[in-house]
Amino acid sequence: MIELLDYILDYDDNFWIMNELIGNKPKGFIVYKVDKNGNRFNNITKKRYIKLQNNGEVELPQKYKMIFKPQEFYKNNKKNLKGIWKKYVDVLNEIGIKDEDIGIFGSYLIGFDIIKDVDFIIYGLDNLNRYRANNYYIKEKTNTGFITKKHVEHQYGRYKDKYPKECDLKKIIKRNWSGIQVKEGVLSTPRFIDKNFTNIPEKEGEDKLIKVKVIDGTKSDLLPRVADVLYNGIIYKIITQMWKFQSFARDGDEMWIYGNVNEDKKIIILDEYKYYIKFV
């Protein structure tokens, strides 16, 4: 069974990531495509690759050569982690996050050499709370910091053209509290996943712009991101898989949301780049 942030290798030797589960249908995109002139060499296929940007998810191939599981990979490769990455998992263990609740995704998982950083997944709501409670301690023990102004500008410049101009993308990027800034240009941000909630409902509402107030934003750190908001005096749930929207909601925030609003089920879904968040 394919789960969120698993990778597959198709029969053309392209690597896909499972980025969304919508109505129990796994969706994703090719993240590394075979290219003889590519700048990345893969140690499994022995081929060269280029990295592709996410231009929208499609259903994953039903048949594939290999599947790559983040938790299994971490279990088998923890001993190979060195330097900052060993310090990081050591402090995660120290604060009570067990090895079975840690995974590695990204390029290292699928056979590429580590160039900048290692991408980690942390599973379970309890572990998200442990991480949040020990955030300053984690950074102190690893000699890392919060995202820098320069890195905010870098990420904003890189991704701003994907989103509408109304979107407060820079402010959302600044809210990255869990990432560890190893040095300028190297930021590793863990993905937090609650395996009890990974399936996003199908869109059944109407695209509209509405004003809401956040009453519970603690789960906007998760993937998918979730926030409970008040709209017209009624509690709605915002659900988004957009990875750049991590930690978008804080209790008390007032914001304009352009998304797919289902007034029957009280759900607002943001699953396309045309949707946006604008703070009041």
Q: Is the dihedral of CA 112, 190, 266, 249 positive or negative?
A: negative
Helix (H, G, I), strand (E, B) or coil at 255: strand
What is the mean pLDDT of the segment spanning 92-100?
98
- Per-residue pLDDT of 16-25, as tens digits, reads 999 999 988 9
% pLDDT > 70, the chain: 100
CB–CB of 224/197 below 8 Å?
yes
Q: What share of the chain is helix, strand, coil (3-state, %, to 5)?
A: 25, 35, 40
What's the pLDDT at 54? 83
pLDDT digits (tens, 9 = 90+) for 219-238: 999 999 999 999 999 999 99
Q: What is the pLDDT of residue 206?
A: 97
Torsion of CA 116, 106, 202, 265, to 10 degrees: -60
For the residues 152-166, what does the mean pLDDT come to?
A: 94
pLDDT at 1: 83
- Greater confidence, 91 or 117? 91
Q: What is the pLDDT of residue 169?
A: 97
pLDDT at 55 over 80: no
Q: For residue 174, what pLDDT band results from cuts at 50, 70 and 90? A: very high
- What are the pLDDT digits (tens) for 113-149? 988 889 999 999 999 999 999 999 999 999 999 999 9
Q: What is the mean pLDDT of residues 1-25?
A: 94
Quote the CA–CA distance of 116 and 97 in Å, as a whole number. 24
Q: Which phi and psi (to 5°) does residue 140 adopt?
A: -65, -45
Residue 53 has a pLDDT of: 85
Helical residues (DSSP H) of the chain, grouped into ranges: 70-77, 83-94, 125-133, 135-142, 149-159, 169-174
Q: What's the confidence (pLDDT) of residue 115?
A: 81
Q: Which helix (H) or strand (E) holds 186?
A: strand 186-188
Angle between helices 135-142 and 125-133 (to 10 degrees): 70
Amino acid at position 262, single letter: N
**Burial class, 180, CB count within 10 angstroms (exposed 0-12 / middle 13-18 / buried 19+):** buried
Give the model confidence (pLDDT) of 235-276 as tens digits: 999 999 998 999 999 999 999 999 999 999 999 999 999 999
Mean pLDDT for all residues in the chain? 95
